[in-house]
Each structure stands twice: as C-alpha cells, then as structure tokens.
Amino acid sequence: MQHLIQRTRREKKALQLNENNLYLTPTVSNCGKFINATFASSFRQENAFILTEYPSQHDAVDFLRMLVDNNSNTIICMDPLAETDLSPTWLQFPSHCSMFGPFSLQHESDSEVDVKVTNIKILDGTGLAHPVKIVQPTGPLKSIQDTACLRSLVSYVMHIQRKNPITIVSKDGISLSGVFCAIFNCIQQINMDDSVDVFTTVRQLQARRPEFCSTLDEYILVYKSVRDFIEFTSEHVYSNQ
C-alpha cells in the first residue's frame, strides 16, 4: 500500500510538468506510463537530457523502461551511489546477472580515472541488448571551493558521442541536475560563441522546470564552475604553447 501511495504521488508530481513530461510506452504489464522525469535541452540539441531521481528497487522496471524507450545509453549520477540514502543498490551491479521484471542486467566492466564508469547491458528478453554507461563522481559535487569533480562529469559528457539523451539522476530529480545542465550549456556556448550568458542559460532551463538552479548556492555553483572551466582551459592552452 505504501508503495502505491508513493507511486501515486510521483505520478501527480510528473503530471504537473505538462508538455515537458516524459511518458513510458505500455510495453510492460501492470506498469503505468508516468515517471518523475523531465526533458531538458542543451545549447545545441533539443531534449538532450532526461532529468530524474534515483530509482528505488521498486521503481527499477520503470527506470529501465525509460532508458530503453528513449535509447539513453549514459547515466550521469550527481552523487557517488554508495553515499546516497536512496542509493539503489541494484544500480551498483554485482558481477552476476540481476532480474527486474522482463529485464535482466548484465555487468560488463568498471573503470576509474577522473570519474567512475560502470558498463552494463540491459537485456529485454527478446535478445536485444541495450548498452549503458553509469558515470559517478569520485567525490562530492556541492562544494564551491573545489568544482573539479563536477567539471569532470561535465567534461566526460562533452567528449562522448551523443545522439540520444543523457540521463541525469539526483536525489530528487532537481537538485544539482539543473546545475549540471546549466554548466554544460554554458560551456557549449563558450565553445561555439566564445562568450557566455549564464543568466539566460539558467532561465531557459527554468522554463522547463522552475525548480532548477532555484537556490543561491546552486546559482553560485554554476558561476564558479564556469569560471573555473575558463581558468583551467586558459592555463592549459598557455602551458602548451
């Protein structure tokens, strides 16, 4: 009963987003079509991101449906999974194959340099395999004193081939997710126009969901990260001349 109440609340929350809702296809019996997820655009691409919350094990099937429906091959975590209260232990993928409804998850490999990357495959029972990379930071992202971990996540996404939406997960689907997208979009604008308008970039995201970057701390974090990116890039350029 408690799970049904929580699910109903999530569906109502998602319904409030109207045209920005993300809907699931009815491919799994006894599952609804709503999920608490929002599309967001990058500077260059419409609906480049799917922003959602960490799924519990009860929500695993819907989360996997969302990835497969939208052919999303990359999950960016706003926290190290081991440090999140809602951390889906099922997302940390033991070496054996795990089953969730019609889906099975197969662990492939792990690597860690500036970020931790786990490669898995989602098997849907028809023989089709959906490869996914789960990318986690190596430390906390909220500190405005050191934005390195946050910038490493953004840099990872900047350097991968991405035709399909990138899934961004956070504790509530809002906190830090909007920050990530704002930083990403600002850096894209810098790379294309050699200039940036942080205020307009944030306002465009808030048009999708007003809660994005809605606190002063998050706004400062966007500015600080973009400034650090510019300074780091400039130092790197000069050091190689």
Residue 42 included in any domain: yes
Asked if the model's pLDDT at residue 205 lies above 80, the reply is yes
Task: Tell me the C-alpha distance between 217 and 219, whole Å.
Answer: 5
Residue 218 included in any domain: no
pLDDT, residue 86, reads 61
State the pTM of this model.
Answer: 0.85
For residue 14, count CB atoms less than 10 angstroms from its CB and return exposed for 0-12, middle for 13-18, buried for 19 or more. Answer: buried
Residue 51 included in any domain: yes
Q: How do residues 48-85 score in pLDDT, each as one tens digit?
A: 999 999 888 788 888 998 999 899 999 999 988 888 77
Q: Over range 112-133, report the average pLDDT.
A: 88
User: Are residues 144 and 49 in contact, defined by beta-carbon separation less than 8 angstroms?
Assistant: no
Residue 59's contacts (CB-CB under 8 Å, 6 or more residues apart) are 7, 35
Residue 230 included in any domain: no
Residue 240 included in any domain: no
Tokens 């390195």 label which residue? 148
Task: Tell me the C-alpha distance between 183 and 174, whole Å.
Answer: 14
Question: Into how many domains does the chain fold?
Answer: 1
Q: Residue 82 maps to which CATH number?
A: 3.90.190.10
Residue-range definition of the domain harbouring residue 62: 2-173
Residue 201 included in any domain: no
Q: How many CA atoms lie within 13 A of 107 on its CB side?
A: 14
Q: What Å distances lie between residue 153 and 7, 31, 124, 188, 218, CA to CA?
A: 30, 32, 29, 14, 16
Residue 133 included in any domain: yes
Residue 106 included in any domain: yes
Q: How do residues 139-169 score in pLDDT, each as one tens digit?
A: 877 777 789 999 999 999 998 877 899 999 9
Q: How do residues 8-32 score in pLDDT, each as one tens digit?
A: 444 444 334 456 667 787 666 566 6
